[in-house]
Copies of this chain bind each other. A is one copy, B any other.
Amino acid sequence: MTQRAMTARPMTERAIPPATVARLPSYRRVLMDAADAGQRTIASGAIAEAVGVHPDQVRKDLSHLATRGTRGVGYDVRALIAETSSILGLDEERTVVLVGVGNLGRALAAYEGFAPQGFRLVAVLDVDDAVIGSEVGGLRVAHLDTLPQVARREQVEMGVVAVPGPAAQAVVDTMVAAGLRTVLNFAPVHVRVPDDVAVRRVDLSTELQMLSFLRSRMRRDG
């Protein structure tokens, strides 16, 4: 629909392929482990081994970054961490709001993986009076209606949707109206959003079903 590839863009960054971006968080994690272990440089082969891809793939991916490796040695660990963090937007703090305080919502609110990557959960919302006012993940659950105020006050950028499927579209509409521009959707439905809003969906049921498919297939192969 929109013509992106032809758009003039500052030379500093050259349209990193989505497939590469998807691997960057894994690379970054390995790099941070290496840094913790005191390593100053790391070879593509070592990253590849830890992440489970081909070394070729790692080098091709890293060739989209500005950081260059040195032949016979590898890449500078600190430089790569800095650049991947910057590309992924992890050098500035991102505020997150969570909607839906069921089992999954509660688990997400308590999830320890948010904070270390710079994601700060600033509000937990629901529409059910039974849970509003209770404490979840160190925050008091408020009514979904307060989202616009919270979003403005805290400059919230990301929304996490952990409500049942039928409620998801309405929640996302509310988020979009409140100015959120990225949404992580755990409901098992596709939601419609304007072009300038990004949505990613995580569906446990889909994952299980794909595994189930692989299982069926394997029994015949083996």
Contacts and interface: CB of A to CB of B under 8 A. Distances in A.
B50 A190 contact: yes
A20 to B, nearest CB: 10
Given A198-B215, A202-B202, A221-B4, A90 B209 contact: yes
Residue of A4, A28, A108, A111 with most chain B CB atoms under a 10 A cut-off: A111
Can you tell how many copies of this chain the complex includes? 2
Contact of A211 (B87, B103, B184, B207): B184
Given A89-B213, A94-B212, A212-B90, A117 B205 contact: yes
Interface residues of A, number: 62
Contact of A25 (B7, B50, B210): B210
A135 interface: no
Given A94-B215, A103-B107, A104-B107, A114 B184 contact: no
A6 interface: no
A209 B111 contact: no
A119 to B, nearest CB: 6
20 contacts: A7-B221, A21-B210, A25-B209, A26-B190, A52-B190, A88-B209, A89-B212, A89-B213, A90-B209, A94-B212, A103-B106, A104-B107, A108-B204, A117-B208, A158-B212, A181-B215, A181-B218, A182-B214, A182-B215, A202-B204
Interface of A: 4, 7, 9, 21-22, 24-26, 28-29, 50-52, 87-90, 94, 96, 103-104, 106-108, 110-111, 113-114, 117, 119, 157-158, 181-184, 188-190, 192, 196, 198, 200, 202-216, 218, 220-222
